[in-house]
Amino acid sequence: MQGAHHGVVAGLAVALGVEKMPEEEVQRGGLAVSIADYEGPCRPLTLSGFENRSKGGFGQRAVRLQRSSPEIGQRPIENWEKVSIGTEIKTARPEPPELPLPDRPAPPRLVLIRHGQSTWNREHRIQGQLDPPLSEDGRRQAELLAARLARRTFAAHFASDLKRAFETAEIIGAAVGMRPVPEAALREIYLGEWEGLRTDEIAARYPEAWARWVEEPDWNIVPGGEREAEFDARVGQAIDQILAQHSRGDVLVVTHGGVIQVALHRVVGKPSRGLFPFRIQNASMTVLERSGGRMVISGVNDVAHLEMSLVTERQGLGDD
Protein backbone atom coordinates (compact mmCIF):
# COMPACT_ATOMS: atom_id res chain seq x y z
CA MET A 1 0.00 0.00 0.00
CA GLN A 2 2.91 2.33 0.73
CA GLY A 3 4.05 1.97 -2.90
CA ALA A 4 0.62 3.09 -4.04
CA HIS A 5 0.91 6.14 -1.79
CA HIS A 6 4.24 7.00 -3.37
CA GLY A 7 2.92 6.58 -6.88
CA VAL A 8 -0.14 8.71 -6.27
CA VAL A 9 1.85 11.52 -4.64
CA ALA A 10 4.39 11.51 -7.47
CA GLY A 11 1.54 11.87 -9.95
CA LEU A 12 0.10 14.75 -7.95
CA ALA A 13 3.48 16.47 -7.92
CA VAL A 14 3.46 16.67 -11.68
CA ALA A 15 -0.21 17.61 -11.86
CA LEU A 16 0.46 20.62 -9.62
CA GLY A 17 3.67 21.59 -11.41
CA VAL A 18 5.89 20.62 -8.45
CA GLU A 19 9.19 19.39 -9.84
CA LYS A 20 10.42 17.64 -6.70
CA MET A 21 8.47 16.16 -3.78
CA PRO A 22 10.70 15.86 -0.67
CA GLU A 23 10.17 12.67 1.30
CA GLU A 24 9.96 14.54 4.61
CA GLU A 25 6.98 16.46 3.24
CA VAL A 26 5.16 13.19 2.66
CA GLN A 27 6.08 11.89 6.10
CA ARG A 28 4.42 14.90 7.70
CA GLY A 29 1.17 13.52 6.30
CA GLY A 30 0.13 16.41 4.10
CA LEU A 31 0.94 18.97 1.42
CA ALA A 32 1.09 22.73 1.78
CA VAL A 33 -1.77 23.16 -0.70
CA SER A 34 -5.53 22.72 -0.71
CA ILE A 35 -7.51 21.47 -3.69
CA ALA A 36 -11.20 20.93 -4.34
CA ASP A 37 -12.78 17.72 -5.56
CA TYR A 38 -16.16 17.05 -7.00
CA GLU A 39 -17.19 15.30 -3.79
CA GLY A 40 -16.74 18.02 -1.16
CA PRO A 41 -15.39 21.40 -0.09
CA CYS A 42 -11.77 22.47 -0.24
CA ARG A 43 -9.69 21.16 2.67
CA PRO A 44 -6.05 20.17 3.30
CA LEU A 45 -4.95 17.15 1.31
CA THR A 46 -3.33 14.22 3.15
CA LEU A 47 -2.05 10.90 1.88
CA SER A 48 -5.10 9.04 3.07
CA GLY A 49 -7.38 11.78 1.83
CA PHE A 50 -5.78 11.80 -1.59
CA GLU A 51 -6.01 8.01 -1.82
CA ASN A 52 -9.77 8.34 -1.49
CA ARG A 53 -10.09 11.46 -3.62
CA SER A 54 -8.02 10.01 -6.44
CA LYS A 55 -10.99 7.78 -7.14
CA GLY A 56 -13.03 10.90 -7.93
CA GLY A 57 -13.02 13.09 -11.02
CA PHE A 58 -10.07 15.32 -10.12
CA GLY A 59 -7.74 12.50 -9.14
CA GLN A 60 -8.51 10.40 -12.19
CA ARG A 61 -8.05 13.35 -14.53
CA ALA A 62 -4.74 14.30 -12.89
CA VAL A 63 -3.30 10.82 -13.25
CA ARG A 64 -4.54 10.52 -16.85
CA LEU A 65 -3.03 13.91 -17.63
CA GLN A 66 0.40 12.92 -16.38
CA ARG A 67 0.39 9.55 -18.13
CA SER A 68 -0.39 11.23 -21.44
CA SER A 69 1.96 14.22 -21.07
CA PRO A 70 5.60 13.08 -21.09
CA GLU A 71 8.40 15.55 -21.62
CA ILE A 72 9.11 16.23 -25.28
CA GLY A 73 11.50 13.64 -26.64
CA GLN A 74 10.91 11.13 -23.80
CA ARG A 75 8.70 8.06 -23.50
CA PRO A 76 5.77 8.28 -21.05
CA ILE A 77 6.19 6.79 -17.59
CA GLU A 78 4.11 3.62 -17.60
CA ASN A 79 4.18 2.74 -13.90
CA TRP A 80 3.88 5.73 -11.57
CA GLU A 81 4.12 3.43 -8.51
CA LYS A 82 7.81 2.90 -9.33
CA VAL A 83 8.60 6.62 -9.22
CA SER A 84 10.35 7.17 -5.89
CA ILE A 85 9.72 10.14 -3.65
CA GLY A 86 12.25 12.89 -4.35
CA THR A 87 12.53 12.06 -8.04
CA GLU A 88 12.89 15.23 -10.10
CA ILE A 89 10.06 15.32 -12.64
CA LYS A 90 10.53 17.82 -15.45
CA THR A 91 7.73 19.34 -17.44
CA ALA A 92 8.06 20.52 -21.02
CA ARG A 93 8.23 24.31 -21.37
CA PRO A 94 8.53 25.35 -25.02
CA GLU A 95 10.73 28.38 -25.64
CA PRO A 96 8.93 31.50 -26.88
CA PRO A 97 9.58 32.28 -30.54
CA GLU A 98 12.22 34.86 -31.28
CA LEU A 99 10.65 38.16 -32.23
CA PRO A 100 12.44 40.45 -34.69
CA LEU A 101 13.58 43.64 -32.98
CA PRO A 102 12.75 46.91 -34.71
CA ASP A 103 15.63 48.51 -36.56
CA ARG A 104 16.16 51.47 -34.25
CA PRO A 105 19.34 53.44 -34.92
CA ALA A 106 21.42 53.98 -31.80
CA PRO A 107 21.54 57.64 -30.76
CA PRO A 108 24.95 59.29 -31.17
CA ARG A 109 27.42 59.16 -28.32
CA LEU A 110 30.60 61.18 -28.06
CA VAL A 111 33.41 59.31 -26.34
CA LEU A 112 35.66 62.19 -25.31
CA ILE A 113 39.17 61.03 -24.50
CA ARG A 114 41.85 63.15 -22.93
CA HIS A 115 45.33 62.49 -24.33
CA GLY A 116 47.86 60.44 -22.39
CA GLN A 117 50.46 62.10 -20.21
CA SER A 118 52.81 64.38 -22.17
CA THR A 119 56.38 65.24 -21.29
CA TRP A 120 55.17 68.65 -20.11
CA ASN A 121 52.36 67.17 -18.03
CA ARG A 122 55.10 65.37 -16.16
CA GLU A 123 56.95 68.67 -15.62
CA HIS A 124 53.74 70.62 -14.81
CA ARG A 125 54.32 73.10 -17.61
CA ILE A 126 51.54 75.07 -19.26
CA GLN A 127 51.02 73.56 -22.70
CA GLY A 128 48.08 75.28 -24.34
CA GLN A 129 48.71 74.95 -28.06
CA LEU A 130 52.43 74.21 -27.79
CA ASP A 131 53.23 70.72 -28.95
CA PRO A 132 55.14 68.38 -26.61
CA PRO A 133 54.82 64.64 -27.36
CA LEU A 134 53.58 61.84 -25.13
CA SER A 135 55.85 60.64 -22.36
CA GLU A 136 56.60 56.93 -22.00
CA ASP A 137 53.92 56.71 -19.31
CA GLY A 138 51.55 58.55 -21.63
CA ARG A 139 52.04 55.98 -24.37
CA ARG A 140 51.43 53.19 -21.87
CA GLN A 141 48.22 54.90 -20.75
CA ALA A 142 47.07 55.13 -24.37
CA GLU A 143 47.85 51.44 -24.90
CA LEU A 144 45.80 50.44 -21.86
CA LEU A 145 42.86 52.48 -23.11
CA ALA A 146 43.26 51.05 -26.61
CA ALA A 147 43.11 47.51 -25.24
CA ARG A 148 39.87 48.35 -23.46
CA LEU A 149 38.29 49.73 -26.64
CA ALA A 150 39.69 47.13 -29.05
CA ARG A 151 36.51 45.03 -29.42
CA ARG A 152 34.15 47.98 -29.84
CA THR A 153 32.80 49.48 -33.05
CA PHE A 154 32.90 53.21 -33.70
CA ALA A 155 31.22 55.33 -36.35
CA ALA A 156 34.12 57.81 -36.59
CA HIS A 157 37.42 58.77 -35.00
CA PHE A 158 38.50 62.41 -34.60
CA ALA A 159 41.46 63.93 -32.80
CA SER A 160 43.15 67.21 -32.06
CA ASP A 161 46.12 67.67 -34.39
CA LEU A 162 48.50 68.43 -31.50
CA LYS A 163 51.06 65.66 -30.94
CA ARG A 164 50.00 64.53 -27.48
CA ALA A 165 46.40 64.03 -28.63
CA PHE A 166 47.09 62.68 -32.12
CA GLU A 167 49.66 60.16 -30.88
CA THR A 168 47.08 58.93 -28.36
CA ALA A 169 44.49 58.70 -31.14
CA GLU A 170 46.83 56.73 -33.41
CA ILE A 171 47.46 54.15 -30.69
CA ILE A 172 43.72 53.77 -30.13
CA GLY A 173 43.05 53.78 -33.87
CA ALA A 174 45.40 50.84 -34.41
CA ALA A 175 43.37 48.83 -31.88
CA VAL A 176 39.92 49.69 -33.28
CA GLY A 177 40.92 49.65 -36.95
CA MET A 178 40.32 53.34 -37.69
CA ARG A 179 42.66 56.15 -38.70
CA PRO A 180 42.01 59.33 -36.68
CA VAL A 181 40.90 62.43 -38.57
CA PRO A 182 42.90 65.50 -37.41
CA GLU A 183 40.81 68.52 -36.39
CA ALA A 184 42.51 71.79 -35.43
CA ALA A 185 39.25 72.97 -33.82
CA LEU A 186 39.77 70.31 -31.12
CA ARG A 187 43.03 71.88 -29.92
CA GLU A 188 43.49 73.03 -26.35
CA ILE A 189 42.87 76.69 -25.51
CA TYR A 190 45.67 79.05 -26.52
CA LEU A 191 47.25 80.36 -23.31
CA GLY A 192 49.34 83.18 -24.73
CA GLU A 193 52.33 84.31 -22.69
CA TRP A 194 51.88 81.58 -20.09
CA GLU A 195 52.55 78.70 -22.46
CA GLY A 196 55.74 76.77 -21.71
CA LEU A 197 55.97 78.08 -18.13
CA ARG A 198 55.48 76.33 -14.81
CA THR A 199 53.01 77.85 -12.35
CA ASP A 200 55.80 79.09 -10.06
CA GLU A 201 57.36 80.88 -13.03
CA ILE A 202 54.01 82.47 -13.90
CA ALA A 203 53.60 83.68 -10.31
CA ALA A 204 57.05 85.29 -10.45
CA ARG A 205 56.65 86.94 -13.88
CA TYR A 206 52.95 87.86 -13.75
CA PRO A 207 52.19 88.33 -10.04
CA GLU A 208 49.08 90.49 -10.47
CA ALA A 209 47.46 88.32 -13.16
CA TRP A 210 48.38 85.16 -11.28
CA ALA A 211 46.85 86.47 -8.04
CA ARG A 212 43.60 87.19 -9.90
CA TRP A 213 43.67 83.71 -11.44
CA VAL A 214 44.19 82.05 -8.06
CA GLU A 215 41.30 84.04 -6.58
CA GLU A 216 38.90 83.26 -9.45
CA PRO A 217 40.16 81.47 -12.58
CA ASP A 218 39.14 83.09 -15.85
CA TRP A 219 40.57 82.47 -19.32
CA ASN A 220 40.32 86.20 -20.02
CA ILE A 221 42.99 86.90 -17.39
CA VAL A 222 45.74 85.14 -19.36
CA PRO A 223 47.81 87.80 -21.18
CA GLY A 224 47.66 87.34 -24.94
CA GLY A 225 45.55 84.19 -24.66
CA GLU A 226 42.38 83.01 -26.38
CA ARG A 227 39.27 84.63 -24.95
CA GLU A 228 36.68 82.56 -23.15
CA ALA A 229 33.90 83.30 -25.65
CA GLU A 230 36.15 82.39 -28.58
CA PHE A 231 37.21 79.11 -26.99
CA ASP A 232 33.67 78.09 -26.07
CA ALA A 233 32.42 78.94 -29.57
CA ARG A 234 35.24 77.02 -31.27
CA VAL A 235 34.69 73.87 -29.24
CA GLY A 236 30.91 74.11 -29.51
CA GLN A 237 31.04 74.45 -33.27
CA ALA A 238 33.40 71.46 -33.58
CA ILE A 239 31.11 69.25 -31.48
CA ASP A 240 28.01 70.36 -33.39
CA GLN A 241 29.68 69.56 -36.72
CA ILE A 242 30.67 66.09 -35.54
CA LEU A 243 27.12 65.37 -34.36
CA ALA A 244 25.70 66.69 -37.64
CA GLN A 245 27.95 64.33 -39.61
CA HIS A 246 27.21 61.30 -37.41
CA SER A 247 23.60 61.01 -36.29
CA ARG A 248 24.04 57.59 -34.71
CA GLY A 249 26.69 55.34 -33.21
CA ASP A 250 29.70 55.99 -30.99
CA VAL A 251 32.21 58.62 -32.08
CA LEU A 252 35.74 58.76 -30.67
CA VAL A 253 37.09 62.26 -29.99
CA VAL A 254 40.64 62.43 -28.62
CA THR A 255 41.34 65.91 -27.33
CA HIS A 256 42.39 67.95 -24.26
CA GLY A 257 41.23 68.64 -20.72
CA GLY A 258 40.06 72.18 -21.46
CA VAL A 259 38.05 71.07 -24.49
CA ILE A 260 36.30 68.36 -22.47
CA GLN A 261 35.55 70.91 -19.73
CA VAL A 262 33.86 73.16 -22.32
CA ALA A 263 31.84 70.21 -23.70
CA LEU A 264 30.59 69.37 -20.20
CA HIS A 265 29.79 73.00 -19.41
CA ARG A 266 27.71 73.24 -22.59
CA VAL A 267 25.55 70.33 -21.45
CA VAL A 268 24.88 71.91 -18.04
CA GLY A 269 24.38 75.34 -19.60
CA LYS A 270 27.34 77.18 -18.06
CA PRO A 271 30.31 79.03 -19.61
CA SER A 272 33.67 77.37 -19.02
CA ARG A 273 35.46 80.56 -17.85
CA GLY A 274 38.61 78.90 -16.50
CA LEU A 275 37.12 76.72 -13.83
CA PHE A 276 37.93 73.03 -13.48
CA PRO A 277 34.89 71.59 -11.64
CA PHE A 278 35.26 68.25 -13.45
CA ARG A 279 38.28 66.05 -12.86
CA ILE A 280 39.58 65.03 -16.29
CA GLN A 281 42.69 62.86 -16.03
CA ASN A 282 45.12 61.76 -18.71
CA ALA A 283 43.73 58.96 -20.93
CA SER A 284 40.30 59.23 -19.29
CA MET A 285 36.96 58.74 -21.05
CA THR A 286 33.98 61.09 -20.74
CA VAL A 287 30.75 60.17 -22.53
CA LEU A 288 28.02 62.47 -23.81
CA GLU A 289 24.96 61.08 -25.57
CA ARG A 290 21.84 62.39 -27.22
CA SER A 291 18.66 61.57 -25.32
CA GLY A 292 15.26 62.95 -26.22
CA GLY A 293 16.70 65.60 -28.51
CA ARG A 294 19.31 66.91 -26.07
CA MET A 295 22.77 65.94 -24.90
CA VAL A 296 23.23 64.36 -21.49
CA ILE A 297 26.31 63.36 -19.51
CA SER A 298 26.49 59.60 -19.02
CA GLY A 299 30.05 59.27 -17.72
CA VAL A 300 32.93 61.49 -16.61
CA ASN A 301 36.63 60.73 -16.15
CA ASP A 302 36.47 56.95 -16.54
CA VAL A 303 39.98 55.62 -15.88
CA ALA A 304 39.15 52.02 -14.97
CA HIS A 305 41.62 50.82 -17.61
CA LEU A 306 44.62 52.52 -16.03
CA GLU A 307 47.04 51.14 -13.51
CA MET A 308 47.03 53.35 -10.43
CA SER A 309 50.74 54.07 -10.77
CA LEU A 310 50.07 55.72 -14.12
CA VAL A 311 47.10 57.89 -13.19
CA THR A 312 47.85 61.60 -12.87
CA GLU A 313 46.91 62.55 -9.31
CA ARG A 314 46.35 66.26 -9.76
CA GLN A 315 44.80 68.42 -12.41
CA GLY A 316 44.70 72.14 -12.92
CA LEU A 317 46.38 74.78 -15.00
CA GLY A 318 49.50 73.16 -16.40
CA ASP A 319 48.02 69.68 -16.51
CA ASP A 320 45.87 70.22 -19.62
Report the catalytic residues: 115, 256
**Checking phi first, is residue 251 left (phi over 0); if not, alpha (psi -120 to 50) or beta?**
beta
SS3 (DSSP) at 112: strand
SS3 (DSSP) at 183: strand
As a three-state string, the secondary structure of 285-297 is: EEEEEEECCEEEE
Q: Using a CB cutoff of 8 Å and minimum separation of 24, what contacts does 67-73 make?
A: 69/14
Non-local (6+) Cβ contacts of 105 within 8 A are 247, 248, 249
Query: What is the rounded CA–CA span in Å between residue 171 and residue 179?
Result: 10
Helix H or strand E segment including 228: helix 228-245
* CA 298 remoteness from chain centre: 9
Taking the CA of residue 122 as centre, how many other CA atoms within 13 Å lie in the half-sphere pointing to its CB?
14
Measure the CA angle with vertex 257, ends 299 and 319; round to 5°: 125
Neighbours of 159 (CB within 10 A): 25
